[in-house]
Amino acid sequence: MPVAASSCLICAHAALESRDMITTILIRHGLLAVALLGAITHQAFSTSKRVPAAQQNFVDKFRAVGAASYTNAIVILFIVTCIGGALLYPTYRLDVRPTLEDLDLRAANGVFEIKEHLAAIGLGLLPAYWFFWRQPLTIEGVVARRYLTWILAFIIWWNFLVGHVLNNIRGLFQ
């Protein structure tokens, strides 16, 4: 086998391994995002007003969780999910974004830019979020906990939905 053909096979094999690695990271990133989504949604609903036990329905039972117990998991999942997104970012910039630009999907690129900014804001909010959810839970921090949790919930839901839709757009036009 000539040297040029051999090096082409090596390059092709490396490209396949790289694509498999990116796919693996993307799947793990998505699974972590789903876990984060569930945790922040439970915690956000638990900060809403309480209903007497006799009048509880499904939604009331959904929010009747130990909200403080989710705090550390949410902080860790948010950070790890952002790290996964950072590992995927070069592939997005080099592979997905040009496809979106070629298809003249400027809005898709725009919402991804918003996603990036919201992720950075969320990372910046994490210390305050953790501070207000630490033990012991104080009465003074109830409003701050509620608003910080709902802001993070919005950020996480936005980022999840935008990431999911953009991943689907890229898959449709491969």
Give domain status of residue 67, yes or no.
yes
Q: What is the pLDDT of residues 54-110, one digit of tens each?
A: 566 666 665 566 778 889 999 999 999 999 999 988 888 888 888 888 888 889 889
Average pLDDT over residues 111-115: 92
Using a pLDDT cut of 90, give the percent of the chain over it. Answer: 42
- Per the structure, the count of domains in the chain is 1
Give domain status of residue 160, yes or no.
yes
Which of 74, 72, 27, 38 is closest to 157 using CA atoms?
A: 38
Give domain status of residue 159, yes or no.
yes
**Nearest 10 degrees: Cα torsion 48, 52, 58, 59:** -10
Is the pLDDT assigned to residue 9 strictly greater than 50? no
Give domain status of residue 106, yes or no.
yes
Which of 34, 69, 65 is closest to 48 using CA atoms?
A: 65
Give domain status of residue 52, yes or no.
no
pLDDT band at 22 (very low <50, low <70, confident <90, very high): confident
Give the list of residues 6+ apart from residue 156 with CB closer than 8 angstroms, or none.
33, 36, 37, 40, 78, 122
| Cβ proximity of 41 and 153 under 8 Å | yes
Does the global pTM surpass 0.75? yes
> The tokens of 77 are what?
């999942």
Give domain status of residue 97, yes or no.
yes
Give domain status of residue 50, yes or no.
no
